Structure 1
């Protein structure tokens, strides 16, 4: 069967099509402001049907340009502020080309990509204020990072967990009301159970440490084993921050592992004041979960788990069967291997996206962009308050602005109007707001993690909201 199978028969023709795809991708990025989200066509399933016979690279590129590029998720557009989604960088294209050519498996062994990941981990550790020797791992995102951190936290209080399981021990974890769903998923996935994630009341938008202490004492008296408290750096709905220094003091006194959900908000560490101070104390955490694909703008997917104690991190996951034994030299060298610090043995090269972005734009550019996003949220709040029928749903703390388009209406009617306005503007391509619930009603929500957004975009979007709300 010689000559059969997967083979590029004509490299000259393939090179031509690859260059055509590169030009189309560059156009897509350069013209992001002209390419908002649009509804997918009714025949999209048929367009994406997999054909049985080879079509060749020209046909594949034709279909990608016609049927893939136009129907994106919208988050590259400068007026996209829905949910908390990153906007991607032009450098992602360069990094992705290099990553595809090398096709590195980042699980371990001795090759350059692993050293790059260690450099990126170390840079992040320093930005977060964690001590030298802290451990890190690039993962799909904060959801996976949270599972990794919680597993290490469990082993601190249950040394034989990996062999014997949790058994009848009732572990209890603590988090503020409104904590991200990643925390809930992690306690369920690890068998801790959602009933054992205790929701601590907030005081002025932050975990009430006195209430936390009382809950821990109550659970201990009931025979539970409290082991973990989750602090929030940038809440999903309102962009709020716990007092992380106070929480670190409380965790130390109560014997709890302090984990910080910093999915997007951890990156205020490189912003200007007054926003930088929001995350003061984050470096005192035992673990931090954060994303690069949100407020560091790199392409999906790219998150990180940071753990203060490398020994605890490695103990939670290290497993090396005979076929993965290391060596002092050769390709099987390169210790430590990243597969000993997380769930995945096979891992893609996420570090290259981060490294390429930082080397291309410089750290100061990211600081300016993050600071600018916070300033835009404040500007949006001012634009909202200038509209006689609009009102904020909460004060703007960081980069999230929540508001109602018609404060003069009854709560139920406000909810109807806000939901309709969000959908209408999404479909028109003018702007993307998501919605949330605040003060008992559905409200419009902008989470500004978009480096392409400018004041003109905000002003135009708020004016469009006013126009549609008046209908």
Structure 2
């Protein structure tokens, strides 16, 4: 929803009559983001009537960050083809790998091209609370809009998303309505200004901010930042444990934040058969989950399946990862033995 609000606000600045006329006969607006962007951006474009073809994906470098040279060239080519580049989306901690785009450079491109600059902060934006890693989000203050979640790395119960818009007037012009039954009075007690229904799509909404307020009041941002730092250190510790088995465990590097991706490639199997190795890792992950050791997930890099460990719990300890790797190796041996016996 934060992405919908952000892109709707951006659209209103480029199509000033969109609330009355819709997008009929308007220019073809184009959004740019890396291939690592979260699917919520594409869903937002579909819901807002742009269509998924309005998203132009830009490749990433070896660190999974957006290729800015390709971005500049694509924007130029699109303008020459009669399209209207209107929004750049930067990643502050991708869901796949925890990678950060160069937000300072993206802000510079957006400013030069007179485009809206949106940042998908997912959970990575909150690394600003960690003094050792806050440099990763340098440039985030230049965004026109920023979306992130409190229910990830701030440990709040679902759901609690957040959107920040630089210019409040833009937000109001996109969503405000004036109905007699929503009229504010000078001394009335019906509600404070502004009415929140003038700042988004929902007329009736729950008090999501209360649990966020309680979390901040109870723990404070220093303690929350320390827990974020702990998770990042635990990710590095997990890498160090897995590195002891690099003859058959392949780790995606660099590990910048709290996400570790790896896959097991047994010497006993045909390691050139990607489909076979993918199936092995997928079944291995199911074994891990059923065993109750941990709930990891999967993702893909270079069209290969990897086991993904995303560490966001404030309860995690280093010992948990000793247990995880020991359990992983046990499940690995059992799975491999089962395959060998079936042959």
Matched residues in 2 for 1:404 and 1:172: separation? 36
Distance in 1, matches of 2:192 and 2:299, equals: 47
Q: Which residue of structure 2 lines up, in the alignment, with residue 221 of structure 1? A: 80
**In the alignment, what sits opposite 1:370?**
228
* 1:162 is aligned to 2:19: yes
Q: Deviations over 1:418-442 (max 9, x none)?
A: 1112111111211111011124321
Supply the distance in 2 between the matched residues of 1:148 and 1:424 (Cα, whole angstroms).
40
TM-score normalized by structure 1? 0.68
Superposed CA deviations along residues 12-59 of structure 1, whole A, max 9, x for unmatched, are: xxxxxxxxxxxxxxxxxxxxxxxxxxxxxxxxxxxxxxxxxxxxxxxx
Correspondences of 1:392-403 after superposition (within 5 Å): 392-403=251-262
- Cα deviation for residue 407 of structure 1 reads 5.4
Q: Does 1:356 align with 2:214?
A: yes
2:329 is matched with: 466
Which is greater in Rg?
Answer: 1
SS of 1:219's partner is helix
The corresponding residue for 1:272 is 131
Quote the RMSD (CA, aligned, Å).
Answer: 1.3
Shift of 1:347: 1.0
Rounded Cα–Cα distance in structure 1 between residues aligned with 2:36 and 2:222: 32
1:218-276, CA deviations, whole angstroms, 9 ceiling, x for partnerless residues?
A: 11122111110100011111110101001100110111100000010000110131x22
Distance in 2, Cα, partners of 1:341 & 1:187: 19
Aligned to 2:286: 423
User: Aligned to 2:31, what secondary structure does the other structure show?
Assistant: strand
Offset at residue 404 of structure 1 (A): 1.1
SS of the residue 2:20 aligns to:
helix
Higher relative contact order structure (alpha carbons within 8 Å, sequence separation ≥ 6):
1
Deviating above 4 A after TM superposition, structure 1's stretches of 4 or more consecutive aligned residues are: none
Q: Please name the residue that 2:202 is paired with.
A: 344
For structure 1, the residue ranges without an aligned partner over 5 or more in a row are: 1-143
Match of 1:211 in 2: 70
Alignment deviations for residues 84-141 of structure 1 (CA, whole Å, 9 cap, x no partner): xxxxxxxxxxxxxxxxxxxxxxxxxxxxxxxxxxxxxxxxxxxxxxxxxxxxxxxxxx
- State the shift of 1:394 in Å: 3.0
Question: Within 5 Å, which residues of 2 pair with 1:231-310?
Answer: 231-273=90-132, 275-310=133-168
Q: Which residue of 2 aligns with 1:446?
A: 309
> C-alpha distance in 1, partners of 2:136/2:45?
27
Q: For structure 1, which segment, 347-356 or 204-213, has the greater mean C-alpha deviation from structure 2 after superposition?
A: 204-213
Return 364-373 or 438-447, whichever deviates more.
438-447
The Cα shift of 1:206 comes to 1.8
For the pair 1:146 / 2:3, whether they are aligned, the reply is: yes
For 2:340, the equivalent position in structure 1 comes to: none
Asked whether the 8 Å contact 1:381–1:401 carries over to 2, the reply is yes
Deviation for aligned residue 1:417: 2.0
Which shows bigger deviation, 234-243 or 408-417? 408-417
> Unpaired runs of 5+ in structure 2?
335-343
Q: TM-score scaled to structure 2, two decimals?
A: 0.92
Q: Which residue of 2 aligns with 1:414?
A: 277
